[in-house]
Chain A
Amino acid sequence: MPEIKLIITGPPGAGKTTAIEAISETPPVRTDTRTTDDLSSVKDETTVAMDFGEITLESGEKVFLYGTPGQRRFEFMWKILVEGGLGLIILVDCSRPDPIDDLKMYLENFSDFIERTGVVVGITRTSEPDAPELTEFYECLESNDRVFPILDVDIREREDVALLINALVSTLEFSR
């Protein structure tokens, strides 16, 4: 079985780095540095190159997980990281001002990659008072002519990250 390369993206603070840390069987590779801009009110550190972790599926297949930086100024890293990737996890954070708009933006940012891969969407912090309903996220996908699984997750929990990965891997198998 070939190795499976998956990418995790989404806005800064959504939990990409946390997800990889939660699930990787090997010590994750991190490239977080001090935040010096507005984000510092939310987070002390931000990913400037990539996160990397490894897991083994029950089937014995190896999954390599790559986390991207969230900010658009690191767009060049997105292009480097999706190379050879088989699937994309988009994290959407309901504590941010406009999570639906965030989803739209990452669908757009990764549109070329999405054309040739499977996608799952993980919605985080859904207990936030202003969090949109899951149906609103489905509607957003629909209006972009996309049908992807959407899961409500706590990205700090290993099992929830595993849920996202399994959902993604099964859509890949289905389309293979």
Chain B
Amino acid sequence: MSQYKFSERSEAFCQDMFQQMLDTSDAIYGILISTVDGHDVSKHFLKEMPASKLSAMMSSILALGETIAVEAQQQRCRYVIVENSDGYILTLKIKDKLILSVIATTNANLGMLHSVSRNAAEKLAAHLR
């Protein structure tokens, strides 16, 4: 099966970037890059989580977020955020084919997670260009 795959160089770039994100906020314990159609591409998890299943789910929820925005006559969906009693899951698009998801405890504030995720997505988009 042919699947979206990073080059070795891009994978190293990602792992570097993941480490920087973890260094910036110790609330983050999972970072996942997946395709918009739900395949996992790269990840850094400090805890065991099902990357394939999460990738499919992230693509669904982001697509729903974008669709809901349109139905509610709002512009461009920036993030989909799932806020739970003990954590946050934040998902956003990187360019047109990829999705970045960040999983964190409530020790981080949401604004912080926004900026860390946005910066990472922009860096990655620039790298992949």
A residues adjacent to B (C-beta < 8 A): 29-39, 46, 48-50, 69, 71, 73-74, 76-77
B56 within 8 Å of A (CB atoms): yes
Can you list 16 contacts pairing A with B, beta carbon distance less than 8 Å? Answer: A29-B67, A30-B67, A31-B66, A34-B37, A36-B39, A37-B4, A37-B37, A38-B1, A38-B2, A48-B38, A49-B59, A49-B60, A49-B63, A50-B64, A73-B38, A73-B55
Q: How large is the interface on B (under 10, 10 to 19, 20 to 34, 35 or more residues)?
A: 20 to 34
CB-nearest residue of chain B to A52: B67
In the complex, A99 Cα to B107 Cα: how many Å? 51
CB distance from A54 to the nearest CB of B (A): 13
Known contacts A31-B63, A49-B67; 5 further A-B pairs (Cβ under 8 A): A31-B60, A37-B3, A37-B37, A46-B37, A74-B56
List residues of chain A with CB within 8 A of the CB of B52: 73
Question: Counting chain B CB atoms within 10 Å of each CB, which of A46, A49, A50, A74 scores highest?
Answer: A49
Query: What's the minimum C-beta distance from B105 to chain A, rounded to whole angstroms?
Result: 24
Q: Tell me the total A-B contact number using a CB cutoff of 8 A.
A: 66
Interchain nearest-CB distance for A30 vs B (Å) = 7
Q: Say whether chain B's binding surface is mostly helix, strand, loop, or mixed.
A: helix
Residues on B with beta carbons closer than 8 Å to the beta carbon of A49: 59-61, 63-64, 67
Residues of B near any A CB (own CB < 8 A): 1-4, 35-39, 52-53, 55-57, 59-61, 63-64, 66-67, 71, 96-97
Bound-state CA distance A74–B52 (Å) is 10
Q: What separation, in Å, do the CA atoms of A162 and B51 have in the docked complex?
A: 40
Chain A residue contacts of B57, Cβ below 8 A: 76
With a cutoff of 8 Å between Cβ atoms, the chain B residues found around residue A77 in the complex are 60
The answer to whether B67 touches A76, judged by C-beta atoms less than 8 angstroms apart, is: no
